[in-house]
Amino acid sequence: MPWADPVVVPDDIRALQSEIDAYHREVRAARRRLRRERLTGTLGWRRWSFPIGVLTGALALAATVVTLLAVDGSVRPSRHTAVPLAAPTVEAGHVGGLLPAAALTTTAGERLQSRALRPALLVLLPAHCDCAKLLDSLAAQAAEVQVQLVIVGAGSPDAEVAALPGQLHHGSVVAAYDATGALASAYTATGVTALVVQRDGVVSYVQPDVTASTRLELPLQAALLLGTEARS
């Protein structure tokens, strides 16, 4: 009787290589399925797979957000850095004009120019002000917007001004002396007088006779946003 489905044996066994490879793929796939079934069928997998998946996703999302913030912060110029001095039409020593150029001496004996102190909350002190608590309040307000507080005493160095930075507990504080009193004279300072200095050296706000209830956060925030127009 003739074969209904005769088996053909090839002359060269290499002709069956594709079938052999397919067989081994099927065997490997079956083994992988068996291993997955053994793992996912356990009580521990059913109990912890979902919480672990949620936690892994949350960590991945947090890492992505942190990375994006770090990259964004590294390429974006800081709004707290100085920009070139402006060239306003308003005379120096008035609101809207540049801070007058004055040579200052820090309590550490270093020489610096007043216009290098930007942006800043610059506070002109009267003699014997006894105002450490008031200055600490101003330092806290400046720290909220990450602006340095510069306290300037008129005349020659004295121990009272030198001791003030150690009595303040907020932010970055620079204490200096204006030997000629040029700044106090320019702004007709009375009591504790606060000057808000923009990034471009323009004085955008002047507040004489500062008290404990004086709030300067809004003028300080504006000083960081302004100061990008006309520059020399």
Tens-place pLDDT, residues 172-202: 788 899 999 999 999 999 999 999 999 999 9
Q: At what angle do helices 132-144 and 217-225 cross, to 10 degrees?
A: 40
Note whether 118 and 82 are within 8 A (CB). yes
Q: Please name each of the domains of the chain with its CATH number.
A: 13-75 (no CATH), 103-225 (3.40.30.10)
pLDDT of residue 36: 72
Summarize pLDDT for 196-220 with one digit per residue, the tens.
999 999 999 999 999 988 999 888 8
Q: How many CB atoms lie within 10 A of CB 214?
A: 14
**DSSP state, 96?**
T
The pLDDT mean for the chain works out to 80
Position 108 scores a pLDDT of 84
What integer is the mean pLDDT of 20-42?
73
User: Using CA atoms, how far apart are residues 168 and 180, in angstroms rounded to an integer?
Assistant: 26
Which range has the worst mean pLDDT, 104-108, 202-206, 225-229?
225-229
* Residue 226 banded pLDDT, cuts 50, 70, 90: low
Query: What is the model's pLDDT at position 24?
Result: 72
Has residue 231 got a pLDDT over 60?
no
Does 151 have pLDDT greater than 80?
A: yes
Instruction: Dump pLDDT digits (tens) for 47-82.
Output: 666 677 677 877 777 777 666 665 544 433 345 788
pTM of the model: 0.63
Distance CA 171, CA 51 (A): 43
